[in-house]
């Protein structure tokens, strides 16, 4: 009796399961519709794919060009290196002057006491070289500027080998403001610090004066005039 009831229950369970399976399975028309939808979606994906050749490469030239020109502030600092700012004013003139292919920053130099202008200085925007600006696009050598002081302003070349006819003098730069010197292949020498066209040995009485013609005059414990 119990076996018959168990068999009947199992048979009923199978019937219910089969019925449920049939209800969850789509009929053939539904299956065809699903297949068509899948095909359409896949086709749309394929058509919208972008090949690697169509991808825009980043533009390597989009960065702003780098300029090596001096700013107005940089040019003013160059002027202030040799102008006594306790007694003189450095005023902005025409901030950018172009003469030919070169550009310059212009500064007016005036007395602090009465604000009277003494002249104008032009600074090359690329090289930083100073000029005496006379107006109307006229530049003169900076040595003609009325406040020019060779002991401060002259750009001396403290490097190289010089001779006085019998002795040799060799100058070896250590930095922008000092150099090592050797006389007669090291028989004598030392280290000197320079300001403008004058340099002095840091430990003894030896002074070097750089001339307009590029010669070097030594005075003190060592004497002589040396040329390249």
* 204-226 confidence digits (pLDDT tens): 999 999 998 899 999 999 999 99
Instruction: Give the DSSP H/E element, type plus range, for residue 78.
Output: helix 72-80
- Determine the average pLDDT of the residues in 192-205: 94
CB 97 within 8 A of CB 104: yes
Pair (135, 167) in one structural domain: no
Pair (77, 104) in one structural domain: yes
> Which residues, 6+ apart, have CB-to-CB distance to 38 below 8 Å?
none
* Number of domains present in the structure of the chain: 2
154 pLDDT above the threshold of 60: yes
- Summarize pLDDT for 82-97 with one digit per residue, the tens: 899 999 999 998 768 9
Residue 7 lies in a domain: no
Question: Residues in the chain, how many?
Answer: 228
Which domain covers residue 196, as residue numbers? Answer: 160-226
Residue 90 lies in a domain: yes
What's the whole-model pTM score?
A: 0.54
Residue 36 lies in a domain: no
């Amino acid at each position: 009796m119990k076996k018959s009831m168990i068999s009947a229950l199992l048979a009923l369970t199978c019937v219910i399961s089969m019925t449920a399976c049939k209800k969850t399975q789509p009929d053939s028309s539904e299956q065809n519709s699903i297949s068509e939808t899948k095909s359409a979606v896949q086709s749309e994906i394929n058509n919208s794919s972008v090949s690697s050749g169509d991808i825009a490469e980043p533009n390597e030239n989009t960065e702003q060009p780098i300029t090596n020109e001096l700013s107005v502030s940089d040019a003013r600092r160059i002027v202030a290196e040799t102008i006594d700012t306790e007694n003189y004013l450095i005023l902005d003139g025409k901030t950018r002057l172009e003469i030919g292919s070169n550009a310059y920053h212009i500064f007016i130099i005036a007395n602090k006491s009465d604000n009277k202008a003494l002249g104008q200085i032009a600074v090359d925007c690329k090289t930083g070289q100073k000029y005496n600006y006379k107006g109307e696009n006229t530049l003169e050598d900076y040595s003609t500027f009325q406040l020019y002081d060779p002991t401060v302003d002259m750009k001396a070349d403290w490097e190289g080998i010089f001779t006085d006819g019998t002795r040799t003098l060799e100058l070896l730069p250590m930095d922008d403001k000092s150099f090592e010197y050797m006389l007669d292949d090291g028989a004598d020498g030392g280290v000197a610090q320079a300001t403008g066209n004058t340099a002095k040995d840091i430990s003894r009485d030896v002074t070097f004066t750089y001339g307009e013609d590029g010669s070097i005059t030594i005075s003190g414990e060592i004497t002589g005039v040396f040329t390249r």
